[in-house]
Amino acid sequence: MGFSAAAAGDGAQLCVFDLRRGQQEGQELDKILFFHPADCPILLQLSVIGLCEGIVTFTRIFSPEEDCEVIESEKRSQVFYQAEPDIWMVLVVEKTKDNESTWRCGALQGILKEAHSLFTMFHGPIRTLLDRQPSAELARGHLRTFLTDYLSDFHVGKKLQFPTYRDSLKERGTIQMLTVPREVALEVQSLTTVLGSCLGNVTCQSLILFEDLLVSTTLPPDDTLNLYTYAVLRLTPRALSSNASSWSYLRKGTSVNAGPTSSSSNGTTAGERPLLREKFSKGKDGFVAPDFAATEVCGAVPLTPILWFQQAEERMYLCIYQHKSLTILLLIPASSLINREEGIAHVKKQMLENASQKIVTVEQKLTRGWGGENAYHVSGYRYLLVDPDRRVSRASPPGKVTTLAKDSLLALNRLRQEVDLEKSRYRRSDPCHDKDFEVCIRTKNNTWVIAKITRGRELYMALEKGGETLLYASTAVEKFSNRYCEGAFSTD
């Protein structure tokens, strides 16, 4: 394919480029907005971007309504994502001779989608930054620091390690919910009402998390997903604790240095790096705020973060409060505050006065009913449930998934790859309807790997040491569906 391995010192490349820029001869460099690794020679960067642009242009001839998603070659995979009109993100990953480089391209594309969604939440659309400053210095500066900090979660030693076949029972870009009984749900609803009234006549929005699981939200689905993702990456007690071992489905890693940036179009303060590790710390009052030592090192101003919520079409200040395992993300409409910090201080005061006891009560009840990290383990099953419409998933605990044999995980990864292709084909032929289908495969190591899609909801499963007949596999799915999915995947 023409990609040079020398262009990726750690075996991977991530680039962002704008097809509307650099169209004149000698100006090709202008279209590059971000490139990792940063020390890659300019000529190799231009070669990679040029080839990517050629692939995009060529595929549009045959399929003008469908974006190019992946190009596979013997030595590497190139995953494409058109983040915004004519702004492309491309991830290039090197293949190795062992199976450790066996990945699912849909999972790799999920990384690009997640990175862009988080970037937009903090800095606004890339195109807006380019329109505001046509030289692209503003956009490049934000992309450089943000994506460098984002990629730090994938660093293992000096290399980037992206999701492989071992992550077949995980789904990036979804929310993990905590199931609560009706009594606790009423307490949570009461707390949400109080949080919403902290600013008087103006309604505040909120997210409530217990551990790394979502309990409650008042935001639209897309905005909820973005803020939840950020919370699990950097704000929950597990994320704040450098010594905690993560069981979250979102990877943790070590930080990478990057230079400061200037202010952005949505009000983000100069030098702010929301994904910088160890930037936040919990104060004595329970509120989590930017750590002064960390922000001074990178030249940032430790002010309350301000976010852009695309679906709600509103900018909001983010206040983070923690009580033991409970994390509350309180969102204050920016248009409602005349004096930023004074107004936020007033809201925090109202929250402590009116909601403290309810917060303690909710945390106590959630803790009493919490089954621990294996709360959603189902004996005999290793599974993943996905509801794409609601952006929600549930899966076997990672510690249980690691008990699966390597051959089982490889087979499940291949099956998911085929399902992704089938879904893509069906969307092109009939974008208005979902296709229902079920696949059961018995592997060489006598494991059943199963995929079933019904009315848009997806179930993936691995059953080791099971019966030899197809009836056994079908019955196992029926039992699981009836007991844990309210019959969503049952044949009746």
> Does 376 map to a domain?
no
Classify the phi-psi angles of 252: left when phi > 0, otherwise alpha if psi is within -120 to 50, otherwise beta: beta
93 and 151 assigned to the same domain:
yes
365 and 391 assigned to the same domain:
no
Q: Residue 322 corresponds to which amino acid? A: Q
448 and 353 assigned to the same domain:
no
> Does 431 map to a domain?
yes
474 falls in which pLDDT band (50, 70, 90)? Answer: very high
338 and 423 assigned to the same domain:
no
Question: If you average pLDDT over residues 236-264, what whole number do you get?
Answer: 49
Beta bridge partner(s), residue 460 = 384, 451
Residue 250 vs residues 153, 193, 233, 234, 380: alpha-carbon distances, Å: 9, 30, 7, 10, 25
> Does 492 map to a domain?
no
Please name which of 211, 218, 222, 205 lies closest in space to residue 176, comparing C-alpha atoms: 211
For the cut 50, the answer to whether the pLDDT of residue 410 exceeds it is: yes
20 falls in which pLDDT band (50, 70, 90)? Answer: very high
Residue 138 vs residues 44, 61, 109, 142: alpha-carbon distances, Å: 24, 33, 25, 6
Residue 96 CB coordination number (10 Å): 11
355 and 439 assigned to the same domain:
no
**Angle at CA 57, nearest 5°, toward 55 and 59?**
65
For the cut 70, the answer to whether the pLDDT of residue 75 exceeds it is: yes
478 falls in which pLDDT band (50, 70, 90)? Answer: very high
> Does 317 map to a domain?
yes
> Does 173 map to a domain?
no
Residue 100 CB coordination number (10 Å): 13
339 and 241 assigned to the same domain:
yes
323 and 357 assigned to the same domain:
yes
99 falls in which pLDDT band (50, 70, 90)? Answer: low
For the cut 80, the answer to whether the pLDDT of residue 17 exceeds it is: yes
DSSP string, 391-433: TEEEE--HHHHTTS-HHHHHHHHHHHHHHHHHHHHHHHH-TTS
352 and 388 assigned to the same domain:
no
Q: Looking at 369, 404, 434, which one is the last position of a domain?
A: 369
For the cut 90, the answer to whether the pLDDT of residue 301 exceeds it is: no
Q: How are strands ordered across the β-sheet holding 457-464?
A: 392-395, 382-387, 457-464, 447-454, 437-442
Please name which of 240, 177, 230, 224 lies closest in space to residue 366, comparing C-alpha atoms: 177
For the cut 90, the answer to whether the pLDDT of residue 431 exceeds it is: no
Q: What percent of the chain has pLDDT over 70?
A: 88
Least confident among 127-136, 249-258, 269-278:
249-258
For the cut 50, the answer to whether the pLDDT of residue 488 exceeds it is: yes
Residues 155-202: tens digit of each pLDDT = 888 788 898 999 999 999 999 999 999 999 999 999 999 999 999 889
237 and 361 assigned to the same domain:
yes
- Average pLDDT of the chain, as a whole number: 87
For the cut 80, the answer to whether the pLDDT of residue 325 exceeds it is: yes
Question: If you average pLDDT over residues 348-358, what whole number do you get?
Answer: 96
> Does 177 map to a domain?
no
* Domain CATH for 222: 3.30.450
> Does 433 map to a domain?
yes
| Domains of the chain: total | 3
Q: Looking at 324, 339, 369, which one is the last position of a domain?
A: 369
Domain that holds residue 278: 182-245+254-369
> Does 440 map to a domain?
yes
Residues 200-226: tens digit of each pLDDT = 889 999 999 999 999 999 999 999 999
Q: Looking at 335, 369, 403, which one is the last position of a domain?
A: 369
Residue 138 CB coordination number (10 Å): 20
259 and 137 assigned to the same domain:
no
319 and 466 assigned to the same domain:
no
10 falls in which pLDDT band (50, 70, 90)? Answer: low
Q: What is the pLDDT of residue 289?
A: 85
467 and 341 assigned to the same domain:
no
Output the pTM of the full model: 0.89
* Domain CATH for 69: 3.30.450.60
